[in-house]
Structure 1
Amino acid sequence: MKKIVLLLAALMMVSSNGFSEEMKHEMKAHSGKKMPTRFQAVSADKAVILQEGENKMYCPKCGMTLPMFYKTNHAAHVDGKSEQFCSIHCLAEAMAEGGKVTGIKVVDNTTLEFIDVIRSWYVVGSSKPGTMTMTSKYAFGKKDGAEKFAKEFGGKVMTFYAAMDAVKSTLAQESAMVQKKQSVMAQKGEMMYNNMCTPFDANFTNTAEAKTYLTTQKPCGDIKGAQLQAIGLYLNSRNK
């Protein structure tokens, strides 16, 4: 009974207002043709995944499920390897690490296809939710599409370079905020792991890798959403 009470408490804390919107909405992760429940989301069958490998459904920086945040997805070649990010924030973090980042693409919110960022127009600061940030950033292939979106939902229309400058100006602050929230969530993930999972000693280089292991090997059963993200964060951090 004590374990059940502790687990319920952990789940309540994971979904509380103390966590970012991104983490809370992982609870509503979907697959197949199920309709999305979040503005950034598309059903998994409509999401274009450009990166390859067994971890391809997750952002390599934060581990978030890519279709859930597809409308803010970015992709690039990082040191020659194709990577796809949940947001311009995670792309900026990859760039800040000093690797060679080329061929940057972004999802066009009109067509839901990837386009080169050079010909994109961003709406920054609309009333729609941001991904890994409090300030939303949505891209469009045509300026009139961005202007129409801004007229309806607010925000400023700008080029990719201006949008990236805005991201870089607050990157350290927002990254620290995200890391703090992830640290708290990982603590809850440890509690869930101890109560739900068959113990194992596998090590992981990132949260995406941990989540793939959890969903394929199922040491914690058929978990998803907030449980999957929390335990994945814990597993990624426990040997670091």
Structure 2
Amino acid sequence: MNRKEQILNLIANGYTTVKSLAEYFNVSLMTIYRDVRELEEEGKIIRKHGELLLKSEEKHFQETGVCAYCGKILDKRLEFVYKLKSKTVCACCAHCGFLLFNELQENELQSCMTRDFISGNPINCFSAWYVVDSSAIPCCSPSVIAFGNKQDAEKFAKGFGGNVFDFETAVQAVKELMKRGQRVIWEGRS
């Protein structure tokens, strides 16, 4: 069995980082990165934020109810759901939804849905209003909270701080905040 076949077996058995594979084989990280890149090109594995998954596990990864960006368990009240031509991709909140948006193929994107923070009603992500970087952090940080109308978003921002943006501007604001050193904060959930 060659090393690439062994890597596939090891990933299936919990060796899901390049570092753990390099240690197992007693080779450099670059050697494993080359193998991983080839396996990705062959469509056998995917990389999700430093973790290696078998391509066959990707669908399972989405069906388990975890964020496609950070891996956090989904909360239906906050999730961001992208409908693509070939699949559905979910993020735990608007924050991760925006970061994920930057990775999606625009020509694959069909729709996006989230929920109004106050009513819980489904809303179109692209026509929603967002309060970015408020003191209220229901999921990841910097917080991004969705509203069906601008007036509700402005009232919320008045009480909890943050700035009100449309979809496109909010995506850019989160990107800038992340560049300045903000990090995803996983609020304590068990």
- Cα shift readout 1:72-108 (whole Å, capped 9, x = no counterpart): 3211124531122112333234333353333122221
Matched, 1:105 2:113: yes
Pick the aligned partner of 2:132 from 124, 133, 155: 124
Secondary structure in structure 1 of the residue aligned to 2:63: coil
Q: TM-score, normalised by structure 1?
A: 0.45
Structure having the higher helix fraction is 1
Q: CA deviation at 1:141?
A: 0.4
CA–CA distance in structure 1, aligned partners of residues 181 and 140 of structure 2: 8
CA–CA distance in structure 1, aligned partners of residues 120 and 101 of structure 2: 24
Secondary structure in structure 2 of the residue aligned to 1:150: helix
Kept in 2, the 8 Å contact 1:75–1:104? The answer is yes
Q: CA deviation at 1:63?
A: 2.0
Percent of pairs with identical residues: 30
**The structure with more radius of gyration:** 2
Secondary structure in structure 2 of the residue aligned to 1:72: coil
CA–CA distance in structure 1, aligned partners of residues 104 and 65 of structure 2: 24
Q: Which runs of 5+ in 1 are unaligned?
A: 1-50, 183-224, 227-240
What amino acid does structure 2 have at the position aligned with 1:155?
G
Kept in 2, the 8 Å contact 1:61–1:85? The answer is yes
What amino acid does structure 2 have at the position aligned with 1:127?
S
What amino acid does structure 1 have at the position aligned with 2:82?
A
Q: 1:141 to 1:65 in 2, by over 3 A?
A: same
CA–CA distance in structure 2, aligned partners of residues 165 and 104 of structure 1: 17
Secondary structure in structure 2 of the residue aligned to 1:62: coil
CA–CA distance in structure 2, aligned partners of residues 52 and 105 of structure 1: 21
CA–CA distance in structure 2, aligned partners of residues 104 and 145 of structure 1: 20
- Cα shift readout 1:36-76 (whole Å, capped 9, x = no counterpart): xxxxxxxxxxxxxxx99982422123221112xx4432111
The aligned residue for residue 142 of structure 1 is 149
Q: 1:152 to 1:62 in 2, by over 3 A?
A: same
Q: 1:102 to 1:169 in 2, by over 3 A?
A: farther
The aligned residue for residue 161 of structure 2 is 154
CA–CA distance in structure 2, aligned partners of residues 54 and 74 of structure 1: 13
Q: 1:65 to 1:88 in 2, by over 3 A?
A: same
What amino acid does structure 2 have at the position aligned with 1:151?
K
Which structure has the higher relative contact order (CA within 8 Å, separation 6+)? 1
Q: 1:53 to 1:131 in 2, by over 3 A?
A: closer
Q: CA deviation at 1:113?
A: 2.3
Kept in 2, the 8 Å contact 1:73–1:85? The answer is yes
How many pairs align? 128
**Residues 221-236 of structure 1 aligned to structure 2 (within 5 Å):** none
Matched, 1:60 2:86: no
